[in-house]
Structure 1
Amino acid sequence: MREVALRPVRPDEANALHQLIRDIEIADEQHWLTTLDEVRDYLRSPNNSPENNLRAVWLGDRLVGWGRVTHSPSGQKLERAKLLGGIHPDVRRRGLGTELLAWQVDRAGQRLDSTPHELEAIIIAERYEGQDDRGALFAAAGFEDARWFDELQRDLTALPAAIEPDGIAIAPWNDSHHESARQVYNVAFLDHWGTTPRSEEAWLHDVINEPGHRIDLSFLAFDGDEMVAYCLNGHYADDEAVTGRRDGWIESICTLPSHRRRGIASALVTRSLHSFAAAGFNSSMLGVDSASPTGAGEIYQRLGFRPLHRGIASIFTIRKGTSPVRMY
């Protein structure tokens, strides 16, 4: 057998890495496709340096796999690392995935070990229902299924009227409000499973400037001068090749706890649907935790969304922590 090597990815290997990821996604009948811009973004991440957190798997002189570890320090509630990656279908069942996952778990453990030890620390690996090989790989490494996430879809026909709840003004996203939106996120998602607060740097890189995110199709909600909710949206043109749709993605929507159950989220989603239709899209997608404490799934289904795919988040626990804050 040819020699197996795991090594960092060089910037000039972005195209080769992108082709590998595309081959894996097509073979696995993935519901979305990673773009070249996203791969280039992996190679310049300020929070997850590729030198330390991205590995290519080489079998002789052939690039056959890749793995990435991400972690945005929280300092409160929960510390989590997430894993991305895969092995080319032509060379599976040779132990390459096991070796790659072992490196990822070790690297994620190193990063989490540097965080406050009173906080719970976990590693998250995700898959879709039906990806049984990935599930078996994760289970063999000590991961346990912990949460299920639904991806919902709605055609952009017969849209409900766009209205504003009493006392709430909805406005297009403005660059001057990036920091206020980050603060809303950090408060609103404290009671959501697996989420952690984001620093200014992580927010700008991982959210605002994320390839595919469409600030021009996103919206903010205000109660007077206070921002109380937002809806950040996106579009990934490459996905049409596998879905046959032009999807507008509702990437992140959140409302401060003090303003929930006032119809703000529904208003933001409805406004977004109209913006997607005006942009020439014919469908909308969003993801939701099947056990969301806000009952978000029910809200979206009342707006005409229907379940299309289900994802599974598996976790590997690094430490339980002693903080009294629940992970949810």
Structure 2
Amino acid sequence: MADHHDDLLPVNERVTAPQPHTPTHPLIAEWRPATQADVDAVTDAQRAMDAVDHPEWLHTRDEVQELFDYSFVELAEDTLLGFGKDGALVAVGVTTMPPLQESLVRVFLEGGVHPELRGRGIGRELLAWSRARAEQKLAASEKKLPAWIMAYADERAEDAARLFHRDGFETARYFFELERDLADAIPEVEPADGIRIVPFREELTAATLVAHNDSFRDHWSSQPMSEEQWTAWIGGTFRPDISFLALDGDEVVGFVLNQVNEGDWETQGFTGAYIGMVGTIRSARGKRIAPALLGRAMEACKALGWEKVTLSVDAENPSGALGLYTGMGFVRTNAELSLVRVY
């Protein structure tokens, strides 16, 4: 992704802040912003959506709390909840605009409608509110960069994709969900001379963030993670005991960082870990670092008696990640659509 966009007008000259959308729907008795007291209700509603849209992974309460706690999320302005006539929470909307937008100004839309009330027009109202709020955020940016509103939808949630497409979003990318059976032989790959693979160490957390931001800089739509986002990620379902780093001297040049949510095991049908992040800094690529890290991570999971590891990869990743994973025995199961509205 190019770093210079001097030919673009500032975002605030390309996007006019709209008036807030005031949603109305006969099945919704109350629309209001979320508060910290709603974390449990939002978690329950989100998990009900997950169970239909992508049952192999469900949001945790900690993930919802993390979202509500971010300094760049103003609950009073960036969230919307819809309650049915029985008082149940049936619609959730959250707009987020993370910091450190170096080559792209992004606003993400999250949430959805409870499965029991889909197909009744509630999602259209929720999306109208969400897009208006996202455009207000874009209109506050003075950066001369591309500006996108982004959302994700599982390929199995066809109604969600249709809703976004009708609203001017395009399917910009597919992210393949892959899994690897740990019963199969795991290839032993050694990195180039001078590269050491070591277990993740807490004192290297900051250095790993530096490596992450370098390695993902040329990935589609990726922007640097802030320390706040990084701390939240490391503090969630992250498992340091099955995560590994590649060192060149004292420099972190690669990483495989894994997550485990045992609550997902029953619905996904197997035990295992999610490979959350794999990366190699640009100056260290071509040294067999990623396959060496993956092999170590899979061996660590296998040693714990787990059955599979899973991950998600951009189908068009220019670094050849898809080929790396399929070459190491991963197979595709599902896909997620990345939906983008360009300004």
Q: Same fold (TM over 0.5)?
A: yes
| Aligned counterpart for 1:182 among listed residues 209, 220, 235 | 209
| Aligned counterpart for 1:109 among listed residues 128, 135, 140 | 135
Deviations 1:172-214 (A, max 9, x none): 1111212211111222112110110122222222x222x2121
Q: Secondary structure at the match of 1:123?
A: strand
1:8 matched to 2:33? The reply is yes
| Aligned counterpart for 1:216 among listed residues 241, 251, 259 | 241
2:14 matched to which residue of 1? none
State the shift of 1:148 in Å: 0.7
- In the comparison of the two structures, how many residue pairs are matched? 316
Deviations 1:107-159 (A, max 9, x none): 22222333333011111111122321011100111101100111110011222
Mapping for residues 160-199 of structure 1, pairs under 5 Å:
160-161=187-188, 163-199=190-226
Partner Cα separation in structure 2 for residue 204 and residue 135 of structure 1: 32
Mapping for residues 18-33 of structure 1, pairs under 5 Å:
18-28=43-53, 30-33=55-58
| Aligned counterpart for 1:62 among listed residues 88, 111, 116 | 88
> In the superposition, relative to structure 1, how do residues 115 and 208 fare at CA in structure 2: closer, same or farther (>3 Å)?
farther
Say if 1:182 and 1:203, in contact at 8 Å, map to a contact too. Answer: yes
Partner Cα separation in structure 2 for residue 314 and residue 2 of structure 1: 27
State the shift of 1:69 in Å: 1.7
State the shift of 1:20 in Å: 1.5
Partner Cα separation in structure 2 for residue 216 and residue 249 of structure 1: 13
| Aligned counterpart for 2:230 among listed residues 194, 203, 226 | 203
Q: Secondary structure at the match of 1:39?
A: helix
Q: Secondary structure at the match of 1:119?
A: coil
State the shift of 1:52 in Å: 2.9
State the shift of 1:2 in Å: 4.6
1:284 matched to which residue of 2? 309
Partner Cα separation in structure 2 for residue 2 and residue 224 of structure 1: 62
Mapping for residues 132-171 of structure 1, pairs under 5 Å:
132-157=158-183, 158-161=185-188, 163-171=190-198
One-letter amino acid of the counterpart of residue 102, structure 1 = A
1:325 matched to which residue of 2? none
1:95 matched to which residue of 2? 121
Identity within the alignment, %: 34
Deviations 1:269-322 (A, max 9, x none): 1111111122332110011111001001101111111111111101011x3xxx
> In the superposition, relative to structure 1, how do residues 56 and 286 fare at CA in structure 2: closer, same or farther (>3 Å)?
same
Partner Cα separation in structure 1 for residue 28 and residue 174 of structure 2: 38
> In the superposition, relative to structure 1, how do residues 160 and 5 fare at CA in structure 2: closer, same or farther (>3 Å)?
same
2:290 matched to which residue of 1? 265
1:253 matched to 2:278? The reply is yes
One-letter amino acid of the counterpart of residue 179, structure 1 = A
Say if 2:179 and 2:333, in contact at 8 Å, map to a contact too. Answer: yes
2:68 matched to which residue of 1? 43
| Aligned counterpart for 1:128 among listed residues 140, 145, 154 | 154
> In the superposition, relative to structure 1, how do residues 41 and 136 fare at CA in structure 2: closer, same or farther (>3 Å)?
same
Deviations 1:1-37 (A, max 9, x none): 3554331223233222222122222233533111222
Instruction: Extract unaligned runs of 5+ from structure 1.
Output: 320-328
2:13 matched to which residue of 1? none
Say if 1:75 and 1:116, in contact at 8 Å, map to a contact too. Answer: no
State the shift of 1:79 in Å: 1.6
Partner Cα separation in structure 2 for residue 113 and residue 186 of structure 1: 26
One-letter amino acid of the counterpart of residue 95, structure 1 = G
State the shift of 1:167 in Å: 1.2
> In the superposition, relative to structure 1, how do residues 122 and 240 fare at CA in structure 2: closer, same or farther (>3 Å)?
same
> In the superposition, relative to structure 1, how do residues 234 and 29 fare at CA in structure 2: closer, same or farther (>3 Å)?
closer
Q: Secondary structure at the match of 1:51?
A: helix
Q: Secondary structure at the match of 2:305?
A: coil
Partner Cα separation in structure 2 for residue 114 and residue 2 of structure 1: 34
One-letter amino acid of the counterpart of residue 185, structure 1 = H
> In the superposition, relative to structure 1, how do residues 9 and 305 fare at CA in structure 2: closer, same or farther (>3 Å)?
same
Say if 1:70 and 1:83, in contact at 8 Å, map to a contact too. Answer: yes
- TM-score calculated relative to the size of structure 2: 0.87
Instruction: Extract unaligned runs of 5+ from structure 2.
Output: 1-25
2:8 matched to which residue of 1? none
Partner Cα separation in structure 2 for residue 248 and residue 88 of structure 1: 28
